[in-house]
Amino acid sequence: MIGNDIVDLALSIKESNWQRKGFLDKIFTLQEQSQIHSSENQNSMVWSLWSKKEAAYKIYNRESGIRKYNPIKFECLVSENGKVVFENHVYFTRTEITEDYIYSEAVEIIGDFERIKNITRPEKIQKKNGIPSYFDAFDSSIRPLSITHHGRFERIITITSFPNEILILKKLKL
Amino acid sequence: MNQEEILQKLKGILQPFVKNQEAFINLTEDTDFINDLQINSANLVDIVLDTEEVFDIEIDNISMEKMVTIKAALEIINIKLSEK
């Protein structure tokens, strides 16, 4: 399964003041906070960890149907780059950090990163309990979608049935 | 503080973060902060912190987990006020 989250850094500066008293305590574990404070670019670290938690939460929310606002419990493991742990669930995340945005993707099996496909907004998005999917005419299946938009940026991803290279071979009918 | 006053104060807290004004005008107990009001999820923290300040209460993590609708927020505020 997949999850993603994007933060428009220009908008986050306007909308969120993470230096506000109590803000970090509500969202980040003590280890994460110390990682933030020892970071050269603290703002970037805050939103990087935040987007990893959000991307991992989207997988949990889709699979459990449970809706909770508990980012502090999705713990980014400092020593294990990209791993996010919640209760007995483990998620793997990867994060793209630029000057304009920070973008994270989460999967449950590392190999699934290879199956993530960026798509433009499909025509028929179905939403069940707020969780999106769409019908893929190519292989007549309902595919999960993860959609994130913030400010100037939007990313929509799906997960293909096969790793991308096999899909390309299939499309070429090789 | 009666229920109407609590609701009005809560609406005052939410208002600066609301992206969907129509849903805010037609607000009901079932209104969802993220799905309906389209509040950014990072701003839910600000709403929790503002609620703590305005009502002079402390919202623990377990309570915060549930604070995603008007109904849940009112329940939590009432419980915390009664514990004061």
List, for residues A3-62, the tens digit of each pLDDT value.
Answer: 999 999 999 999 999 999 999 999 999 999 999 999 999 999 999 999 999 999 999 999
The distance of A119 to chain B (nearest Cα, Å) reads 22
- Which positions in chain B touch A16 (Cβ < 8 Å)? 40, 42-43, 46
pLDDT above 80: residue A98: yes
List, for residues A68-95, the tens digit of each pLDDT value.
Answer: 999 999 999 978 879 999 999 999 999 9
CATH class of domain segment(s) A2-171: alpha beta
Domain ranges within chain A, ordered by starting residue: 2-171
Dihedral sign for Cα A54, A17, B20, B39, please: positive
DSSP B20-57: -HHHHHT--TT-BTTTTT---TTHHHHHHHHHHHHHT-
Whether B72 has its CB under 8 Å from any CB of chain A: the answer is no
pTM of the model: 0.91
Return the ∠ at Cα A23 (arms to A21 and A25), rounded to 5°.
95
Whether residue A70 and residue B49 make contact (CB cut-off 8 A), yes or no, is: no
Topology given in CATH for the domain delimited by B3-82:
1.10.1200
Whether residue B42 and residue A20 make contact (CB cut-off 8 A), yes or no, is: no
